[in-house]
A and B are shown apart, each in its own frame.
Chain A
Amino acid sequence: DQQVKQNSPSLSVQEGRISILNCDYTNSMFDYFLWYKKYPAEGPTFLISISSIKDKNEDGRFTVFLNKSAKHLSLHIVPSQPGDSAVYFCAAGYSSASKIIFGSGTRLSIRP
Chain B
Amino acid sequence: DGGITQSPKYLFRKEGQNVTLSCEQNLNHDAMYWYRQDPGQGLRLIYYSQIVNDFQKGDIAEGYSVSREKKESFPLTVTSAQKNPTAFYLCASSIAGSHTGELFFGEGSRLTVL
Q: Are A43 and B102 in contact (CB under 8 A)?
A: no
Q: Which residues of B contact A31 (CB under 8 A)?
A: 99
Query: In the assembled complex, how far is the CB of residue B61 from the closest CB belonging to chain A, in whole angstroms?
Result: 13
Which residues of chain A come closer than 8 Å to B33, judged between CB atoms?
100
A interface residues, tally (CB under 8 Å):
27
Question: Which residues of B are at the interface with A, using a C-beta cutoff of 8 A?
Answer: 4, 31, 33, 35, 40-45, 48, 50, 56, 58-59, 88, 90, 92, 94, 96-108, 110
Q: Which residue of B has the minimal Cβ distance to A30?
A: B101
Contact (A102, B43) CB under 8 Å given A32-B100, A43-B105, A49-B101: yes
Q: Mark A residues whose CB is within 8 Å of B.
A: 6, 9, 31-32, 34, 36, 41-46, 49, 51, 89, 91, 93, 95-96, 98-105
Identify B103's interface contact among A41, A42, A51, A100, CB under 8 A.
Answer: A100
